[in-house]
Amino acid sequence: MPRPTCLRKVGFFPNITYFKPAGTPMGILEEVLLGHDEVEAIRLKNLIGLSQEEAASQMGVSQPTFHRLLLSAHQKLTDAVVNGKALRIEGGNVTAVDIVTGPCRWKQGWGCRTKPLPEAFSKEKNLQAEGGSKMKIAITSIDGTLEGKVDERFGRARKIIVYDTETKEHVALDNSMNLNAAQGAGIQAAQNVVKSGAKAIISGHFGPKAFQVIQMAGLEVYSATNMTVAEAIKNFDEGKLVKLTGADVSSHW
Q: How many Å apart are CA 134 and CA 235, to the nearest integer?
A: 16
Residue-level pLDDT at 177 = 76
| pLDDT value of residue 94 | 81
For the whole prediction, is pTM greater than 0.75?
no
pLDDT of the residue at 148: 95
Question: What does residue 89 show for φ and ψ, rounded to 5 degrees?
Answer: -100, 120
**Furthest-apart CA pair in the chain: how many Å?**
65
The helix/strand/coil state of 208 is: helix
CA distance 100 to 155: 31
pLDDT at 117: 40
Which pLDDT tens digits describe the chain residue by residue (253 residues)? 455 567 888 877 777 888 999 988 878 889 999 998 999 999 888 888 888 898 898 888 999 999 999 999 999 999 999 999 999 998 887 875 543 333 343 333 333 433 334 443 343 344 554 444 468 999 999 999 999 999 988 888 889 999 999 999 999 999 887 666 656 677 888 888 888 889 999 998 888 877 877 877 788 899 999 999 999 999 999 999 988 887 777 665 5
The upper half-sphere exposure of residue 197, i.e. CA atoms within 13 Å in the direction of its Cβ, equals 10
Contact 213, 47 (CB under 8 A): yes
φ/ψ of 158, rounded to 5, equals -70, -40
Distance CA 228, CA 205 (A): 15
Q: What pLDDT does 120 receive?
A: 38
